[in-house]
Amino acid sequence: MKKLLPLITLLLLVQSCLEKPVVELEETVNETTNFDFATTQEVAIDISLADASGNAFKGVKFSIFEVDGDTLGKQLFTAVTNASGAFRDNLSLPAYYESVYVQSAFVGIPGQIQVPIQNNLIEVVYAQGELKSAIIEKEEQSQGGTAANQSYSVNGITFSYMDNYSFWWGVPKNLEKKRDKISTDLLDIINSSLPEGQPVPDYHPTYLADGRKTTLDIVETADVWLTFVHEGAGWRNAIGFYTYPTSNPPSTLDDIDVINVAFPNLSYFGSGGKLRSGDKINLGRFEPGTSIGLVLLADGWNGWNSESYDYLVFADKDLNPESDPALRQHNVLLWDEENELFLLGFEDVNREYLWCDQDFNDAIMFVTSNPPTAISTTNVSPVDKPGTLDSDGDGINDVLDEFPNDANKAYSSYYPSSSTFGSFAFEDNWPNYGDYDFNDLVIDYQFKHILNADNKVVEMESKFKVRAIGAGYRNGFGFATKLLPGDVSSSTGQLINNANIKLNGNGTEQGQDNAVFIVTSSVHDLFSTSGFVNTEDGAQELEPQVLTIQTQLTNPKAYSEIGTAPYNPFLIIGQDRGREVHLPGYEPTNLVNSEYFGTLDDNSDPDAGVYYRSKTDLPWAIHLPESFDYPTEKIDIREGHLRFRDWAQSYGYSYMDWYKERDGYRNRRKLFKK
């Protein structure tokens, strides 16, 4: 239905709708805009992961991060894929977000990709060894063109490209037409053997033991292939190889005749390159008595060639740059008897650097030969078998399991993020207009959900930080969910000093159809004052006070059964339990006094499902997905946040980030000074 707003309403929004006295409105045409002053958008998450044969990647843990320039920002959400290799649910995100990073710690899937938010959807589809969904790639200097294979010399070492390659992406032209199929079973083996973020010296020291082979020794005439599986590097590395007589290994760089560059840019599609898992190259035919050593050119790819690398790391560890001989090994070589292949994992960072994670999976490849017996397996470590790292048997690898010894818990997810708080800001004069400084109560929140391997919530930790009270009323605060009271086993941590607030034995409020949690009956009870708190410049500043509500659920529940965070927060005005203030459009609880609706300046119409809107279509509460810098006492929000007016006038389509600290967005003198 097309909604129209008369000119007088627009003028009031622009000029004085937030000020007292409020000009009476003429009757609107049809109805008001129903603009809900929301600073967030509800986004669907649709993740689907499968191998080249369509088998699901189950139990893959992934996280969604804010885009902060070219890097990861705050962590917004975490989940795992189900038995079908999928995850589907909804998440509330800041309305101005246009994209997010999706990151996985599962070897075999691109570790970090930037995904657009299109039609309120974040979609990641991975199948047949590649991403099938939309991703965001940086604009590069050159999108095409081909470089001719050539030889070059750097620091006295001769390099030779095996074939032509594409400019910017560094994809070699001699890739085999048919990719290797990398199955879920093989990736389970790789993730068990070289898990992301687990230091090999601690997790698998035998891989680094003296005498373990790191090079490929040819014992029969054979064709040899190198297949790309995964890269978990921040750099765009190149991969090459060199050969020598097995009986005469190199002791210095002078003993290496030439390094053949196989992959000028060993980077995933969507992660700085164009490679897909399973891309493979024939290294050539080799005779018995020949050894092949892989070499990584650290940060070697510059968009045109691989000649500006930082340093080289070799399969022959004595050639590597570390001064400590115990730290010179940079690759592990593992034998997978079942799949008849050699697994190779490289660590690309100098191991003497403190920031080296030493997980040896910055570049993961495997080597196959024809015949399969042509490469010696003597002194080659075997791969780990899947399932050896699932102590609690919940189907989540211990490396990915936040609670590896508790089958009822697998991971935690936070809202609005793992490192930040959001804010609720209230006016407490409802159903009368307020002064619209939105500081009668400013309360920050962070919800922590603990989930099991089936992505169902088993526990909640709801943290509330009271930062400002610009009210004479003794106001309470709570939030409502979609849960039933019986869905809650226990809820503790509330501060209740009012006989009008009655709780069930499990900590939920009595008389409610749904589970309602009263955080405190009076926010003033948290402070040693009965006056204003942190709203008046020059007054004593008080430390914000935190209440943490711990909630245990009777049975695990899906997010959809609880509601979308941050749920349905509300203010209880002046110890009058029936006088609730909610966000615009949010329903009250069963205990509201409905006689307030439609009185004075309130324009609520319960029969039409319209709640907590004024006659000028303004709210008494707002929600911010980050901690709110609120106005000083009696200063309306437009004077401190200069783009609020433009945002409201556009019904939320312009300046969706009006609350951010950006040039021209704020008058700092009008906001409370900490």
605-616 residue pLDDT tens: 999 999 999 998
With contact defined as beta carbons under 8 Å apart, do 619 and 612 qualify?
A: yes
346-389 residue pLDDT tens: 999 999 999 899 999 999 999 999 999 999 999 999 998 876 67
List Cα–Cα distances, 355 to 70, 76, 199, 350, in angstroms: 20, 24, 12, 9
Residue 44 has pLDDT above 80, yes or no: yes
Dist CA 41 CA 66 (whole Å) = 14
pLDDT band at residue 146, thresholds of 50, 70 and 90? low
Q: What is the pLDDT of residue 134?
A: 85
- Residue 102 makes CB contacts below 8 A (sequence gap 6+) with 47, 62, 63, 64, 65, 112, 113, 115, 122, 124
Number of Cβ within a 10 Å radius of residue 513: 10
Residue 142 has pLDDT above 50, yes or no: no
Mean pLDDT across the stretch 4-10?
32
Sign of the alpha-carbon dihedral angle for 250, 253, 257, 261 = positive
Give the N- to C-terminal CA distance of the chain in Å, as an integer: 45
Q: What is the pLDDT of residue 148?
A: 61
Mean pLDDT across the stretch 90-107?
94
User: By mean pLDDT, which of 144-148, 299-303, 438-442 is the weakest?
Assistant: 144-148
Pick 495 or 616 by higher pLDDT. 495
Q: What is the CATH number of domain 40-131?
A: 2.60.40.10
pLDDT band at residue 70, thresholds of 50, 70 and 90? confident
Buried b / exposed e along 124-141 (16+ C-beta atoms within 10 A): bebbbbbbebebeeeeee
Q: What percent of the chain stands above pLDDT 90?
A: 76
Residue 62 has pLDDT above 70, yes or no: yes
Residue 405 has pLDDT above 80, yes or no: yes
Q: What is the pLDDT of residue 33?
A: 59
Q: Which of 96, 77, 65 is nearest to 653 (CA)?
A: 96
240-269 residue pLDDT tens: 999 999 999 999 999 998 999 999 999 998
Q: Is 606 helix (H, G, I), strand (E, B) or coil?
A: helix
Q: What is the pLDDT of residue 18?
A: 37
Q: What is the pLDDT of residue 388?
A: 62
Cα dihedral 593, 596, 597, 603, rounded to 10, equals -150
Q: What is the pLDDT of residue 138?
A: 61
Q: Which of 574, 581, 606, 585 is nearest to 438 (CA)?
A: 581
Mean pLDDT across the stretch 536-549?
94
Residue 14 has pLDDT above 50, yes or no: no
With contact defined as beta carbons under 8 Å apart, do 599 and 607 qualify?
A: no
Mean pLDDT across the stretch 477-502?
97
Dist CA 207 CA 210 (whole Å) = 9
User: By mean pLDDT, which of 143-147, 196-200, 272-276 is the weakest?
Assistant: 143-147
Dist CA 272 CA 301 (whole Å) = 10
Q: What is the pLDDT of residue 319?
A: 95
With contact defined as beta carbons under 8 Å apart, do 162 and 75 qualify?
A: no
Q: What percent of the chain stands above pLDDT 70?
A: 93
Dist CA 190 CA 192 (whole Å) = 5
Q: What are phi and psi of 392, to 5 degrees?
A: -100, 0
Task: Note the pTM of the prediction, 2 decimals.
Answer: 0.86
Chain centroid to CA 42: 16
CB-neighbour burial class of residue 664 (10 A; exposed 0-12, middle 13-18, buried 19+): exposed
Residue 129 has pLDDT above 70, yes or no: yes
Q: What is the pLDDT of residue 48?
A: 96
pLDDT band at residue 438, thresholds of 50, 70 and 90? very high
Q: Which of 193, 267, 214 is nearest to 375 (CA)?
A: 214
Residues of the chain with CATH 2.60.40.10: 40-131
Mean pLDDT across the stretch 537-542?
91
Q: What is the pLDDT of residue 31?
A: 43
Sign of the alpha-carbon dihedral angle for 299, 303, 306, 307 = negative
> Mean pLDDT of all residues in the chain?
90
List Cα–Cα distances, 26 to 290, 349, 611, 616, 648, in angstroms: 91, 69, 21, 10, 20
